[in-house]
Amino acid sequence: MVDDNRRGDDERGPGAAYQMFVVMEDLLDKLKLLDYEEEVLAKHNMKALSRHYFASSAYMPSNPGEQFFMFTIIASWLINAAGRPFEQPQEYDDPNATVSNILSQLRAFGGLVDFPPSKLKAGSGEHVCYVLDRLAEEALKERVFSWRRPNYPTEEMEEESVMEDDAELTLSKVEEEMTEEPDDYEEENVMDLEALKSRTNQSEARLSSKPDNILESNMDAAEWNLEVERVLPQLKVTIRTDHKDWRIHVDQMHQHKDGIKSSLKEAKGYLDKLQEEIGKTLEKVGSREKYINNQLEHLIQDYRSAQSKLSEAKECYQQGSGGVTERTRVLAEITEELEKVKQEMEEKGSSMSDGAPVVKIKQSLTKLKQEIVQMDIRIGVVEHTLLQAKLKEKSNMTRDMHATNIPEPAIGAY
């Protein structure tokens, strides 16, 4: 179950971004327990939800309109399943009102809502998964559903294989070597150790009943050897191994050690060769890197100078932006004052509703224009008179000058 208090924790780990995927998988299991395939999908002719349908990610395709409509349908069905009447929203309903109604029902169930309603309008994300999971829990409670502990199947231990030894066993070899269990075909020709022991006891009892005499064999040695070679394959002893015996583990350790040594011998050559190749490649890469650095040294210097110029240009731009901002503020203040003056002028103009002064002003202007015309005419007459006077005076002066300039010989003749 999802803890309601987890959403109020601001300091969550790095895996919190993927928590909604886990919540979505739990939600899908709960919906299947509530039989949403028959009650929701079949009724509305919809496709089954994927494991991460309501989980939002940049690497997953999304359809906000379809997901939001699916969210509202499932939320309304879960609210009704939890025992509260809720009208199913339609496709063209106001999404703000629909989300508000769903969150109000969630608060009524005791759910914690510490996020804005706009988070649900996307139709996917952590908050959508949380709301649906919380409503699914309430629906399961209404149907008196309880989770049980899982029953894990018990794994049966495999029967230990019995190893078979082809050679004759002695008491020292029995303690050291383990034999496999023989096949069904070989079990008929295998002699049991218990049977040998019982036969030995019987022969000892039979000998103890006889008097103590020296027994001498009258059998030929060659026939005895032939008989031994004939019955030797049948003299096999089977011992069932115990998987808890430490000897088995020691043998396995020695076997693994030998296997590791043999594998190491084969792989060591390849690893040494690979190491040499890697070392040569690293040397080539280092030399190539030095060459590239030497070739690109001037470009790096140009890049650094361009970076410094760019930083200077950014500083100048920031300073200019500060000046523009200040002037924009002053312009806004002046514009505001101008608007105030215009408003006052409009108010004064509207308050002057009487037209008599305007008529008088127009009449005065007309009279003033007429007087100006008359004055212009008078000025023209005066200027003409002055011009005539000046011309007359000039002609008199010219005449006087000609009269005073008399030639000297003419004066002497008189």
CB 116 within 8 A of CB 99: no
Q: Tell me the average pLDDT of the chain.
A: 77
Assigned token pair, 249: 């583990």
Q: How many residues are listed for the chain in this entry? A: 414
Does 317 fall in a domain?
Answer: no
Residue 279: band (very low, low, confident or very high) from pLDDT cuts 50, 70, 90: very high
Q: Is residue 33 part of a domain?
A: yes
Confidence of residue 411 (pLDDT cuts 50, 70, 90): very low
Residue 207 lies in a domain: no
Domain that holds residue 47: 17-143
* Residues 413, 377: Cα–Cα separation, whole Å: 57
Q: Tell me, what amino acid is at 159?
A: E
Tell me how many domains the chain contains.
1
Is 117 inside a domain boundary? yes
Q: Tens of pLDDT along 335-378?
A: 999 999 998 888 877 766 666 777 888 899 999 999 999 999 99
Flag whether 225 is in a domain.
no
* Torsion on CA atoms 31, 37, 43, 44, rounded to nearest 10: 80
CB of 123 closer than 8 Å to CB of 71: yes
* Cβ-based neighbours of 47, under 8 Å, separated by 6 or more: 41
Residue 278 in any domain: the answer is no
C-alpha torsion sign, points 70, 74, 77, 83: negative
The answer to whether 135 touches 82, Cβ cutoff 8 Å, is yes
Write down the pLDDT at residue 155.
Answer: 58
Indicate whether 48 belongs to any domain: yes
Cα separation, 41 vs 49, in Å, equals 9
Whether 175 has a pLDDT exceeding 60, the answer reads no
Task: Give the pLDDT confidence of 296-335 residue by residue, as tens digits.
Answer: 888 888 999 999 999 999 988 888 888 888 888 899 999 9
Is the model's pTM score more than 0.75?
no
Residue 44 belongs to a domain = yes
Q: Tell which wins on pLDDT, 237 or 375.
A: 375
pLDDT band at 92 (very low <50, low <70, confident <90, very high): confident
